[in-house]
Amino acid sequence: MILRALVLGIACLFTAALADAEALRMVDDAGHPLVLPRPARRIVSLAPHLTELVYAAGAGDRLVAVGKFSDFPPEARAKPVISDAFTVNYEALAQLQPDLVLVWGSGTPDRTKAKLRSLGVPVYEIEIRSVDGLAGTLRSIGRLAGTEAAAQARARTIVDDWAALKATYAGRKPVRVFYQLWDAPLMTLSDQHLIASAITACGGQNVFGDLPTLTATVSWEAAVQRDPELVLTAGSPGEPAKPGRWRQFGQVSATRHGEFANLEGDLIARSGPRFVDGARELCVAIDRARQGLPPVAFGASATSR
């Protein structure tokens, strides 16, 4: 009996050691460690771009719930919606028994992230500031979900497309760009933001690139003083740019030459796998402003991408 118990004890220790050796150990973008005993099979994403990333990593079939406005790819619309920008349905979350919840570092409220962790939910926080970071996030999701081959392939495509885009627009005459997140109050972004990397890659100069925070409210007086040659906004596909209050400032180069462009928001603003497609639109807008050409309407059907 003693021998049998000893053998069983050794077997249990061996099994536990083996399981521990096979566990996935990762650190998220906020520096939090995460250990999963096995690849995730029940994933919840709390933002639209995270949903897109899960599908791009080949793990869409593992999604059991998503955040509001998760509408791409089309099959994401069939997933249960469990959150919006401010709240999470914790009761529904508990019933789903997820083994991984993906949260947006700068977009998911801190109180939500703290609540999830206090409930013992495996949380992986994602904050994308560069295309390399975007590709790395895809690889991480692939590892977490056990779909590494698909994730690696999509990551390589994004990196290659980005390199080609930068090579195409390298060395062109700089264009001063104001990226308008909102008009009342007037908001823009710094060079810390992913979108700013596209502005730079396309030969643009972000006129508020020196802001100390990711996004910020700025005064109209300051924006006018920086004299952008192009004002960019993002919205619905095919929606024309609306100069709005900029019409009042005829001394601004963009107003004087009518250089206002509206990009397809889901591409450029989501920090998702279609970001380089959005960057291409941004490059076209900057290049047309560089040549003094009028802006064009952006927004080819997103379902074709």
- What is the tens place of the pLDDT at every residue in 41-73? 999 999 999 999 999 999 999 999 999 999 999
Domain 21-157 fold is: Rossmann fold (3.40.50)
Q: How much is the pLDDT for 297?
A: 82
For the segment 174-229, what is each residue's pLDDT rounded down to a tens digit? Answer: 999 999 999 999 999 999 999 999 999 999 999 999 999 999 999 999 999 999 99
206: phi then psi, degrees, rounded to nearest 5: -70, 115
Which residues 6+ apart lie within 8 Å of 190 measured at CB?
Answer: 196, 206, 208, 209, 210, 211, 212, 213, 214, 215, 216
Instruction: Read off the pLDDT of each residue in 33-40 and give the average, rounded to a whole number.
Output: 97
CATH class of the domain whose range is 171-304: alpha beta
The domain segmentation of the chain, as residue ranges, is: 21-157, 171-304
The reply to whether domains 21-157 and 171-304 share a CATH topology is: yes
Start-end of H helices in the chain: 2-22, 48-56, 90-96, 110-118, 131-145, 148-169, 194-201, 220-225, 253-257, 265-268, 275-291
- For 255-266, what is each residue's pLDDT tens digit? 999 999 999 999
Q: How do the residues of the chain divide into helix, strand and coil, expressed in percent and rounded to 5? A: 45, 20, 35
The number of angstroms, rounded, from the C-alpha of 203 to the middle of its chain's C-alpha atoms is 22
Q: pTM of the prediction?
A: 0.89
The region that residue 200 occupies, defined by phi over 0 for left and psi between -120 and 50 for alpha, beta otherwise, is alpha
The letter for the amino acid at 11 is A
Distance CA 95, CA 18 (A): 30
Rounded CA-CA distance 295/26 in Å is 45
